[in-house]
Structure 1
């Protein structure tokens, strides 16, 4: 049997959908399990022992209808028996349509039901602590006779990456006897990024309450933005920030984060990756992102998140979070760190217990 899973776009989505492979491998130990993802997301699923092949969707294919069609037609000769489209958008609809696969599974959408043999309606709520994002992905396996209610994403670092990362931190004067925090200072976009002035206050609280060492998660082309947040921090806080100690690529970031006591900051891919590494997290949700969907494995102790809706529910009367996307920047201004300062301090207390 040959099975293809499609999950395009963001790193967090690709990591989360990777849960399907461990479950599929348990059901079909001898099957060929392939994963179609955007090329830039490959590092987060490297070394996954349950995935046989990666099929990479490039920017050229994403930005050109002609290239997309060429890409889709190349899949048909692979003769997949089952296709699971987790992405469920126009590009994956087209890929599925040309795949020639007999069993095609995706989420129910009125305009694409004719493409798939099984159209699964998304759950609106779940009792599982794993979150709706996990529960709805596992729903896609039901047509295959697989009934699983929980699964956790995992990241697979090799020994060389772990050893190299530790030496890198030592060479940059990180003291492993003191708490070490990774700060997700920037979101994947402006409407997913906590205001810089508020993020600086959060970092000041971390520095004051823990006396720990602080790292910033950013990539080289984000250095100027990260520096703005650094400059907004108190002078005493700046002494605890190792601004130039950062991962220059995604695998380096993962290996460094493995040694952190917690990751704190903007909810998104970095938070999901930290959870997959079994690192404690405290995440600040964008006002328009659904906490019910993406609060993966939260227990209000080691995995904690905050959302404007938790403190100003009246702003969301008769509205879903996604309806607030256009108002995200204005809503962020309502989301003062004072709202969750006590919750953050309680979280920090457990991270300093070594």
Structure 2
């Protein structure tokens, strides 16, 4: 049996959808399980023992209808028995159609019955700790008679990656007898990035409470923005920030994060990756993001805060409708609202 899962989105989505492979492997131990993802996201699922092959969707295929069609036809040549489309957008609809699979599963949309045999309606609420992102993905397996069980995403690092990253940190004078924190200082975009001055206050509180060592998660092209947040921190805080110690690739970031006591900062892919590494997290949500979907496995080790937690009267409709008002809502989301919660987390 050959099964293909399609998830052409960002790193956090690709990681979260990887839980399907563990469930499928338990049901079909000898099946060929392949993962179709965007080429820039493969690092987060590298070495996953439940995935046989990766089909990488390129930027060229995304931008060219002719190349997309060629790619879809190439998938069809692989003769999959089952396709599970977690992405469910035009490109994946086409790929699913050309796959020729006898069983095609995706989420319900007004047009999806044209492409899929099973169209699963997303849950709107849940009463568990897994988060809707987990709940809704596991529901895609219901047509295969796989019982809903809440599997946690996992990242698989090699012993070499772990030892090299530890040596890297030691070479940069990181003291493993003191707390070490990774800070998600920047989100995936402006509308998912906590205001710089507020983030600096959060980092100040962190150092005041723990005297911990601080690492910033950023990529080279974000150095100017990260430096701005550094400059907004108090002088005593700056002494504890190792600004130039960062992972220059996604796998390097993951390996470094695995040695940290917690990851604190903007909700997004980095938070989800830290959870998959069993690293404690404190996530600050953007005002327009639905917390119920992405607060995966919320507990004392994984804490999150959202403006709606403190100012519910500001929300008269679903969070996604406030995207254009993000900047104004962020201004209202002052660090003082959750300082006590942050201190409890640190303690």
TM-score of the two chains, using structure 1 as the length reference = 0.97
- The number of equivalent residue pairs is 347
Instruction: Output the CA distance in 1 between the equivalents of 2:221 and 2:247.
Output: 12
What stretches of structure 2 of length at least 5 have no aligned partner? none
Q: Deviations over 1:105-160 (max 9, x none)?
A: 00000122210000000011122211100000000000000012311000000000
**Do structure 1's residue 331 and structure 2's residue 332 form an aligned pair?**
no
Once the two structures are overlaid, the 10-residue window that deviates more, 251-260 or 321-330, is 321-330
Counterpart pick for 1:340 among 338, 341, 345: 338
Q: Residues 174-193 of structure 1 correspond to what in structure 2 (within 5 A)? A: 174-193=174-193
Per the alignment, residue 23 of structure 1 pairs with 23
Distance in 2, matches of 1:308 and 1:200, equals: 18
Which structure 1 residue ranges, 4+ long, deviate > 2 Å from structure 2? none
Matched ranges for 1:58-207 at <5 A: 58-207=58-207
Corresponding residue for residue 352 of structure 1: none
Is the CA contact (8 Å cut-off) linking 1:128 and 1:135 kept in structure 2?
no
Question: How far did 1:63 drift?
Answer: 1.5
Q: Show CA shifts across 1:59-81 (max 9, x none).
A: 11111222111111111110000
Check whether the contact 1:128–1:149 (CA below 8 A) recurs between aligned residues.
no
Structure-2 residue corresponding to 1:309: 308
Gaps of 5+ in 1: 350-354
Q: Confirm or deny that 1:37 pairs with 2:37.
A: yes
- Aligned CA RMSD, in angstroms, stands at 0.6
Structure 2 CA distance, aligned partners of 1:298 and 1:323? Answer: 24
Query: Counterpart in 2 of 1:222?
Result: 222
CA positional deviation for 1:94:
1.2
SS in 1 for 2:123: coil
Deviations 1:36-60 (A, max 9, x none): 0000000000000000000000111
CA distance in 1, matches of 2:217, 2:113: 41
- TM-score normalized by the length of structure 2: 0.99
